[in-house]
Homo-oligomer: A and B are copies of this chain.
Amino acid sequence: MTYQAPVDDIVFALKTVAALDGMETSGLYPELDADTVVAVIEEAGKFGAEVLAPLNAIGDRIGSKLSDGKVITPPGFADAYRRFVEGGWSALPCSGTYGGQGLPELVATPVGEIWNAANVSFGLCPLLTQGAIHAIEAGGSEALKAKFLPKMVAGAWTGTMNLTEPQAGSDLGPLSTRAERQPDGTYRITGTKIFITYGEHDMAENIVHLVLARLPDAPPGTRGISLFLVPKFLVNGDGSLGDRNDVICAGVEHKLGIMASPTCVMKFGENGGATGYLVGEENRGLASMFIMMNAARLGVGAQGVGVAERATQHAVAYAKERRQGKSFTANGTGGMSPIIEHADIRRMLLTMKALTQAARMICYATAKELDIGHRGSDERTRKDALNRAALLTPLAKAFSTDIANEVASLGVQVHGGMGFVEETGAAQYLRDARILPIYEGTNGIQAIDLVTRKLTLDGGTTVTAFLAGLGETIAKVRAARRSDFGHTAERLTEALSGLQSATLWMAQTLPGNPEKALASATPFLRLMSLTAGGTYLAKGALTEPEGSPRVAIARFFAENLLTEVKSLSESVQHGADSVLVDAHGAVFA
């Protein structure tokens, strides 16, 4: 199955939801016009389709293997990475200071989506490197930045995030990797980390590990965690590679999916201690790590969109070719119809397409706010935008990755029995997608983050203004009175009302009964995402002529998927007690 980057859909989403056309006039990116953005996305689409997509199936079949402490990536991966670096793709989203191209999130996000649609195992490597670059930029000393960032931005060296230990996952408090101060200002790192993506591989000459560890005199819990840079090879004063550091890959996990992406057990200090450099302040490592995590969360959302897009393309192509039964639209003569003509198959394909496009729009809306947040003209503008980005980030991460699984599973279903056969390729998307709701903060954590930290931003003003913004769009849909929109305006109005009352419930419940609020966090995140996604789709559809396929998608979403908001709002407001009623545990005794 050939992947084609959906450039038209991407650009449409950028224009209608992320105000791409206003970028120049707004002064945000005076150097960048919409045509340039489109050109970059087209080029990325070519690279993804021609270089990365053909390696997706072979990467799955062969996987990355550990042999004598070395990780061998599947055939073609190292070469593709070399071309990726040569093409300057690694530097695209990085700031100009260290050689980056300084392109905005609005470009980086769709480009990341394309890498991950083409090959999610490959796409993880630059995604993690990006996160590491962000953290070093934010907290590293000038010397550390000068030594490591140019090579990382160029893609010659890749980056990793070393958080998890067997006993410390979602809760990093109990992590036990140790860091001891050395007389020369460096630190000696000792401990074991698990689930380290691209912790070891053969695609780059050096690997820069960012490692959370605890100083001997650190306070317990998350307030005693520091962040260290631990390179695979130490770097000499002249920038050349020096000695091998005391860090090894001790194992590669046997996983459900993303087989080509090595998930490593990393051992630091098996031979006396790995040399590490402090990033940021001692005991403040979690703050730096969150910078990295937050950027990565939007990136993981874009992975979800990418996998969903790929699964949809695959299923649509199959449904056009595969013939079974006779559809109502078939004319009297001839044999069987392509299954895409059957209503139930159409429902599945429309669901796939509509969910994918809604998630894409949520991700791009988040990216836009990040750009304004970074480059807005005044502090108030920047702060408001960063708050909106913070509000949207858990939606972008959790909704996009949840729907990636739903879409990939529908993709298997559309293929019938062939979907269960691995050669078809549909099953790989499902296996690959399954990690996305788990890593970079599980989707449950995202929902808790949304409810406890994001709804309360700026005293609740951020979410109130956000809902008002959705309301303005919905008012326009109502005012348009377009018959081709079907019941879209009605469903959007109901959904917003459901979201408003659920948000109010959260605001009233959280202070006095936080556990009850958390019991409803997951359905709340889903209903907010559906309402935002449905509104964005309709906003885009309003710019389209009557009978446009984009109108059909927005309408399908409103009439068939957005309807779920009503149920979810009821569950949020009246279902939490029954989550908690059995707090003494008899149900699971």
Contact = CB atoms under 8 A, between A and B. Distances in A.
Interface in A484-529: 484, 486-487, 514-516, 518-519, 521-523
Given A556-B578, A564-B567, A169 B417 contact: yes
Given A344-B447, A434-B430, A487-B574, A416 B170 contact: yes
A437 B419 CA distance: 11
Given A343-B580, A564-B564, 9 more contacts: A254-B421, A257-B420, A319-B588, A342-B444, A346-B580, A409-B434, A486-B574, A547-B586, A558-B578
A490 to B, nearest CB: 9
Q: How large is the interface on A (under 10, 10 to 19, 20 to 34, 35 or more residues)?
A: 35 or more
A316 interface: yes
A345 B427 contact: no
A519 B327 CA distance: 12
A479 interface: no
- Identify the 9 closest CB pairs spanning chains A and B, nearest first: A343-B519, A563-B567, A344-B444, A328-B515, A560-B575, A171-B324, A256-B427, A559-B575, A549-B587
Interface string A320-359: 1001110011000001100010111111111001000000
Given A582-B549, A586-B552, A325 B563 contact: no
A583 interface: yes
Contacts of A553: 587
Nearest to A521: B344
B518 A579 contact: no
A559 B574 contact: yes
28 contacts: A169-B324, A171-B324, A174-B335, A254-B421, A254-B422, A254-B423, A255-B421, A256-B412, A256-B431, A328-B514, A329-B583, A344-B444, A347-B522, A350-B582, A405-B409, A412-B438, A413-B437, A416-B442, A486-B577, A548-B586, A549-B589, A552-B578, A552-B581, A552-B587, A556-B578, A559-B577, A564-B567, A565-B567
B416 A434 contact: no
Contacts of A412: 256, 434, 438
Interface of A: 164, 167, 169-171, 173-174, 194-195, 253-257, 316, 319-320, 323-325, 328-329, 335-336, 340, 342-350, 353, 405, 409, 412-413, 416-417, 419-423, 427, 430-431, 434-435, 437-439, 442-444, 447-448, 484, 486-487, 514-516, 518-519, 521-523, 547-549, 552-553, 555-556, 558-560, 563-568, 570-571, 574-583, 585-589
Nearest to A257: B420
Contacts of A174: 335-336
Number of copies: 2
Given A171-B324, A343-B518, A563 B578 contact: no
B577 A570 contact: no
Nearest to A337: B171
Nearest to A421: B253
A416 B435 CA distance: 9
B422 A256 contact: yes
Given A347-B519, A444-B345, A589-B549, A570 B578 contact: no
A556 B579 CA distance: 7
Contacts of A575: 556, 559-560, 563
A523 B560 CA distance: 9
Contact of A522 (B328, B344, B444): B344
B552 A353 contact: no
Contact of A344 (B448, B487, B564): B448
A221 to B, nearest CB: 10
Contacts of A435: 420
B434 A170 contact: no
Contact of A579 (B254, B350, B516, B589): B350
Contacts of A173: 325, 336
Contacts of A521: 343-344
Nearest to A582: B552
Contact of A486 (B340, B484, B578): B578
A284 to B, nearest CB: 21
A575 B557 CA distance: 9
B434 A346 contact: no
A538 to B, nearest CB: 13
Contacts of A547: 586
A420 B438 contact: yes
Contacts of A254: 421-423
A208 to B, nearest CB: 22
A529 B518 CA distance: 28
A580 B427 CA distance: 28
A344 to B, nearest CB: 4
Contact of A559 (B422, B442, B571): B571
A579 B519 contact: no
Contacts of A316: 588
Given A438-B420, A560-B579, A589-B549, A518 B344 contact: yes
Contacts of A564: 564, 567
Contacts of A585: 340
A416 B444 CA distance: 10
B579 A417 contact: no
B320 A588 contact: yes
Contacts of A253: 420-421
